[in-house]
Structure 1
């Protein structure tokens, strides 16, 4: 499966706000250790879905910021889910293995590979990486970001918590 996505180095594109009453998004896939992940299981939590690839330096650079926010909100109803967009599953698996060896468990977040047969995502594939989708506690898509996640997004997440 070829992934021809632009890796954005510049600032985030304008955010998208979903219309009121929008259909609940669905996302599912398998984690590197084979566990099934479903977005619906996180209703009642604020969820940030982060689309990334191992070959995207901007994406890898964001990981430290993502993990710091995950740690900061560990007592809050917040979940971070990664969606890896690599063309080759092995690239993602190698990265996940390295993270498991070098990153404390409390700073890791679930990630699924978009190329898997069990993967589905009704939010649509991003046009560039990194990208993110923000889901509120009701399970509704409230914002989407293209490129770097803007600072204001973290404030929006804090407000949604």
Structure 2
């Protein structure tokens, strides 16, 4: 599927979701001033993935990384993660990485999510996921303004753009255009 087909299918999916009332049509706008201030900052994340393996954002140097902060019971998060999983599958060969960061206070929620994902998706369709409150986890993403919150980082792990709340149709174009050619 090429970029235009992906965008059309994504918009069609969003239209169906919005018409069913599952997701609010009004999401927070990207705060461009704050994004510009953080653009020069190099983001960092270090932790342990859901399988117990060490994970460091540095492991993905040279790739565009979409870091998505989510909770298990958030319907907007689930919807975004499904679309992002589809985008990930179509663009993983273009040096793109999707990295999930669970922000549930209770680790059992993440374990439940991981168990469901293990049954629902083949191994090659699962993306790295960490729990933000795990012992030893550190990151420089700061306070989250909404759940979900998404950060698109360039190959040097500098902020390309941030979305507080559900991903918007223009975000897909911006994400696609941020991929290395």
Report the TM-score, using the length of structure 2 for normalisation. Answer: 0.79
Q: Which residue of 1 aligns with 2:36?
A: 18
Deviation, structure 1 residue 115 = 0.9
Give the whole-Å Cα distance in 1 for the aligned partners of 2:133 and 2:25: 26
Give the whole-Å Cα distance in 2 for the aligned partners of 1:20 and 1:124: 11
Q: Is the 8 A contact 2:39 2:160 kept in 1?
A: no
Give the whole-Å Cα distance in 2 for the aligned partners of 1:82 and 1:96: 11
Give the whole-Å Cα distance in 2 for the aligned partners of 1:21 and 1:54: 29
Q: Is the 8 A contact 1:133 1:141 kept in 2?
A: yes
Q: Which residue of 1 aligns with 2:9?
A: none
Query: Structure 1 pair 114/9, CA: closer, same or farther in 2 (3 Å)?
Result: farther
Report the TM-score, using the length of structure 1 for normalisation. Answer: 0.88
RMSD: 1.7
Stretches of 4+ aligned residues off by more than 4 angstroms: none
Give the whole-Å Cα distance in 2 for the aligned partners of 1:103 and 1:21: 34
Q: Is the 8 A contact 2:39 2:159 kept in 1?
A: no
In the alignment, is residue 95 of structure 1 matched against residue 113 of structure 2? yes
When structure 1 is superposed on structure 2, of 34-43 and 79-88 the one drifting more is: 34-43
* 1:89-128 mapped onto 2 (5 Å cutoff): 89-128=107-146
Give the whole-Å Cα distance in 1 for the aligned partners of 2:133 and 2:24: 24
Deviation, structure 1 residue 125 = 2.8
Give the whole-Å Cα distance in 1 for the aligned partners of 2:120 and 2:157: 32
For structure 1, the 5+ residue unaligned runs are: 1-7
- Larger % of strand: which? 1
Q: Which residue of 1 aligns with 2:170?
A: 152
Give the whole-Å Cα distance in 2 for the aligned partners of 1:87 and 1:75: 34
Higher RCO, 1 vs 2 (CA within 8 Å, ≥6 residues apart)? 1
For structure 2, the 5+ residue unaligned runs are: 1-22
Query: Structure 1 pair 119/150, CA: closer, same or farther in 2 (3 Å)?
Result: same
Q: Which residue of 1 aligns with 2:157?
A: 139
